Amino acid sequence: MDPKTLHPELRFRSSRSAGSGGQHVNKVETRVELLFNLEASALLTEEQKGLIRKALRNRINKEGILAIASGKERSQLLNKQSAIRLFNRLIEKALQPPKKRKPVKNFTASPEKRLEAKRRRSEKKATRQKAIPHRGDGLLFFKHFFVKGV
């Protein structure tokens, strides 16, 4: 479904935006809030409403209204376009069917390969440990050099 078909059901509310802009920000209502009444929508089926309700439950209030606010730009028109773009993206993503999970194939060699890799990793880490010198084996240990045959 194309989210642009829902645009006639969108409502907008403007308010004063926060942030930089000086006197302009204090005088002009540039922040735009997009409101979409999901429950009263005549263009969506009950199944689509359920999918949107589930995917966007954090953005929908108790009355069933999806609210999207945009106040980053200094222009009301740009904020309105930004809110519409976000609305379109959210609706498209909510209505996309989830991908089916592909189960991993278990091969008979898998346990042996895993155990072999585990054994190799263990050997590699064992070689990193400090050597414990035995008398006369000629190893450098704690700044002392043990010479063979002493």
Query: Which of 46, 48, 44, 66 is CA-nearest to residue 56?
Result: 66
- pLDDT for the residue numbered 114: 87
Distance CA 21, CA 102 (A): 52
Distance CA 13, CA 18 (A): 15
- pLDDT for the residue numbered 131: 64
- pLDDT beneath 70: ranges in the chain: 19, 21, 25, 130-150
- pLDDT for the residue numbered 134: 61
Distance CA 147, CA 138 (A): 4
- pLDDT for the residue numbered 106: 73
**Domain residue limits, the chain:** 3-95
- pLDDT for the residue numbered 29: 83
* pTM strictly above 0.75: no
Q: Domain 3-95 has what CATH class?
A: alpha beta
Question: Which own/partner contact pairs does 11-16 have at CB distance under 8 Å and 24+ positions apart?
Answer: 11/35, 11/36, 11/37, 12/80, 12/83, 14/76
Cα end-to-end distance, the chain, whole Å: 86
Q: Specify the pairing of strand 31-37 against strand 10-15.
A: antiparallel
- pLDDT for the residue numbered 89: 94
